[in-house]
Amino acid sequence: MVILRPFVDKQTILNFAKCYPELDVASIETCLAFLHTTADVYQALDVHFARYGLSRGNLLC
């Protein structure tokens, strides 16, 4: 089961943008969404491979 959790909440990003006006909030949110998705995919891969006694590192051997 994938549990959705934000890395950083929107208010934190908006507060940071006040200090750095050139910050593109939408781009930061998109990047964080990709990071979140990547972490979920890696977690799912780890669970799947563990069923067979494997890990992502062992696949290269």
Question: What is the full DSSP assignment across the chain?
Answer: ------SS-HHHHHHHHHH-TT--HHHHHHHHHHHHHHHHHHHHHHHHHHTTT--TGGGG-
- Model-level pTM? 0.67
**pLDDT tens track for 4-38:** 566 688 899 999 999 999 999 999 989 988 988 99
What is the mean pLDDT of the segment spanning 52-58?
Answer: 83
What pLDDT, on the 0 to 100 scale, is given for residue 1? 45
